[in-house]
Structure 1
Amino acid sequence: MNIALWIVTGLLAVVALVSGNIKMFTPKPKLAQAPGGQWTATAGAGVIKTLGALEVLAAIGLILPAVLDIAPVMVAVTAVCWSILMIGAMITHIRDGEYKVITANVIYLAMAAFVVWGRFVLEPFVA
């Protein structure tokens, strides 16, 4: 189970890192034209970049605490935060009528829920 948790956590970290970098470094008009990016047309550039930075921090928080063995419980806490972010993303995409993108959000939410359950219940990191 530990290997499955590491695989899912790693995949989630890659998603967060890529998504965060896209939000931080892609110009707002280009983001608004992308599939699932309609919400950026009405959001401020600072909000978009802040969300991107939070996603990059999530990628770091999903991996480094366990690898460095410094407060490894933060992996599960980060996965909880990612779950909340995905719920917000789903609400935003529903509001904007971007229903195709919600499938990805549901998958990422399920992955994060698996990490939360796995790291808090099944295979918690031992101090």
Structure 2
Amino acid sequence: MDTTLLSIVQILTAVAFAGAGIMKLTQPKVKLQTNMGWVEDFSQNQVRLIGLLELLGAIGLILPVLLNILPWLTPIAAAGLVLTMIGAAITHIRRGELPQMVPSVVLGILAAIVFIGHATLLSL
């Protein structure tokens, strides 16, 4: 994969996860329920933990490669985000929210592209 295209996908994916993570970390569960019905199934602390995982994953997609410090952390962060999105998709399926599952699937695919691209670059 072209490294420029990989970088674009990586940055867009990180921005999306950072935004989602910050929202879950800073908004009360009641406010999130307006657009995210799935939060009804989780406690406020669990929603915040999901947000923290998304934010840390976003940071992990960018900083290691940007700073050239432990660049192998980038595919690990991407893999963690893929697993997070698999969990999100399962939650939506369980709740019968198939249309709401689309963003989780798209973000999961983007994170998988970052994982594959960086694993290939690092020859993992």
Q: Which segments of 5 or more consecutive residues in structure 1 lack a partner in the other structure? A: none
Which residue of the partner structure matches residue 81 of structure 2? 82
Deviation at 1:10, TM superposition (A): 0.3
Q: Does 1:48 align with 2:23?
A: no
Which residue of the partner structure matches residue 116 of structure 2? 117
Which residue of the partner structure matches residue 65 of structure 1? 64
Q: Deviations over 1:56-88 (max 9, x none)?
A: 111110000011111001111111110000000
Q: Percent identity?
A: 36
Report how many aligned residue pairs link the two structures.
122
Q: TM-score, normalised by structure 2?
A: 0.93
Q: TM-score, normalised by structure 1?
A: 0.91
Which residue of the partner structure matches residue 21 of structure 2? 20
Range moving further from structure 2, 92-101 or 75-84: 92-101
Letter in 2 for 1:108: L
Q: Which segments of 5 or more consecutive residues in structure 2 lack a partner in the other structure? A: none
Deviation at 1:100, TM superposition (A): 1.1
Q: Deviations over 1:27-70 (max 9, x none)?
A: 11111121xx1121131111011111111111110000011111
